[in-house]
Homo-oligomer: A and B are copies of this chain.
Amino acid sequence: MTQLPWLALSIERGSKTPIFEQICTGIRESVVSGDLKEGTKMPPTRVFATEIGVSRSTVITAYEQLVAEGYLTSLRGSGYTVCALGDVELSSGLSRIVALPEQEETRPPIPFATGLPDMRLFPHRQWAKAVARVCRTNPQAMLVGGSSFGNFELRKAIASHLAEWRGIDASAHQIIITAGSMDALEICMQSVIDKGDVIGMENPGYPPLHHFAQAQGLVPTYMNIDDEGAQLPSGRILPDLVVLTPSHQYPLGGAMTPNRRVDFIKWANAHDAWIIEDDYDSEFRYAGRPIPALAGFDQLSRTIYVGSFSKIFSNALRLGYIVVPEGLLERFRNTMARFGQKASYMPQQALAEFMSTGEFYRHLRRVRRSYGERRKYLLERLHREFSQYGFFRDHQAGMQIVFHLDDGVRDKDIARLAQERGIVTRPLTSTYANAEGEGEDGLMLGFCGYSEEELGQALDILKEIFEGLSSA
């Protein structure tokens, strides 16, 4: 237990409460008790870290948390200062604030959590401008005016986005705005299949989809992945619907070959089955030409296309979309009439303007560059320092990389050790639908949400974990 003379701050190392949270609690209590007065400069992160014997990033995390909570302010170049308490409640309210460990929830994403954009790079002011413009010119458009398919301006913007970026020639009338991509998948299933129908899913694949299909009473079948992509359904029970990630297989990362695509479309035509193309992160390719969507290839005859904005906006907007083949429009219209739109209407008009003014694309180009650099950094270090533990395949795309482990090391063991050390390495085996223990061992390493410094620190930890394992 470390006791700082000037702060009633005690750090218990054995505790379940993470150290940065203990620091937060200590500082909060000192602010509330008045030991830390308004305007007091906090010790520099480096100094403080040394004094209490923790890493500097732990102190930064704690300070930033307290900035977010309004206990501290941070001015560029002048460190952290204690705020006026203002309307922070001192009596009962506060005892609750201190007692209830809410702070763990507001911390930024931890490397190598997957699928998360870096919202620190987001052009918040440009987005605010787009929203403010709607407020000024067309306030109603935030709350009313859409059909059950969503805001028409946004649907038009998505249609031209898809034409230009994904090779899909769809009219705005075929586009449905959804509350993210899981909502989109749910709407598709409600529209084209029934309880008891057979659904084909990739294996390994996206676990929430596996769970959802089961919860919906669908019969799951699985398609293994080979060098060309998902394998065609075979066997006695053929699916009525398959869900594919042809541009960038989740989680392995490869693109489906043109031949395999043709085979899937032919198969679907022959068996009167439907294909859902989950194009979850096609925005991010770092080299080569973009791979057109299967739905464009298929001319939308058998393929229902699902896209999402969560790779750009994080979960803040909760918006995704479906491109519905003409022949299915009536069914989707019935689904939407029956269950209603689950998407928030408010961001839709602003997003349409954000896209049509080009801000969306400026941001996309900017983050693609940043993410590309982070990815390069990660791959170089993996290549240089981790090749004795496994290997990776470079698909030049996406927001994460799978580091395949050599025999003898279990990804779940690494994940457990990583968690103890405060980092996240999602085990590849958790994306297999099979019974426990099957599937290839690997670590899914998300790289978009973290600076090179943050990635570097996490890689140092990961290296120590591997070294610990091999010396054990």
Contact = CB atoms under 8 A, between A and B. Distances in A.
Interface string A42-71: 000000000000000000000000001100
Given A93-B137, A148-B105, A347-B344, A119 B142 contact: no
With most chain B CB atoms within 10 A of its CB, the pick from A145, A180, A337 is: A145
Interface in A107-132: 119, 122, 124-125, 127-129, 131-132
B96 A171 contact: yes
A345 B329 contact: no
Contact of A97 (B88, B135, B140, B316): B140
Contacts of A472: none
Interface size class of A (residues with CB under 8 A): 35 or more
A172 to B, nearest CB: 8
A201 interface: no
Contacts of A93: 137-138, 171
A92 interface: yes
A143 interface: yes
B316 A346 contact: yes
Contacts of A139: 69, 124-125, 127-128
Interface in A138-191: 138-149, 152, 171, 173, 179-180
A340 interface: yes
7 contacts: A69-B140, A89-B136, A93-B137, A128-B136, A132-B136, A179-B179, A318-B343
Interface of A: 68-69, 87-89, 92-93, 96-97, 100-102, 105-106, 119, 122, 124-125, 127-129, 131-132, 134-149, 152, 171, 173, 179-180, 215-216, 313-319, 329, 333, 336-337, 340-347
Nearest to A126: B139
Contacts of A315: 340-341, 345
Contacts of A119: 143-144
Contacts of A135: 128-129, 131-132, 135
Contact of A96 (B102, B129, B141, B346): B141
A102 B152 contact: yes
Nearest to A139: B128
A346 B333 contact: no
Contacts of A100: 145, 152, 171, 173, 329
Contacts of A342: 179-180, 318
Contacts of A317: 143, 344-346
A145 B68 contact: yes
Given A316-B345, A318-B343, A145 B106 contact: yes
B140 A124 contact: yes
Contacts of A132: 131-132, 135-136
A105 B149 contact: yes
Contacts of A106: 145-147
A36 B319 CA distance: 38
A97 to B, nearest CB: 6
B145 A127 contact: no
A168 B136 CA distance: 37
Contacts of A102: 147, 149, 152, 173
Contacts of A138: 89, 93, 96-97
Contacts of A140: 69, 97, 124
Contacts of A136: 87-89, 128, 132
Given A97-B138, A143-B313, 9 more contacts: A88-B137, A89-B138, A101-B152, A102-B152, A102-B173, A124-B143, A131-B142, A179-B179, A344-B346
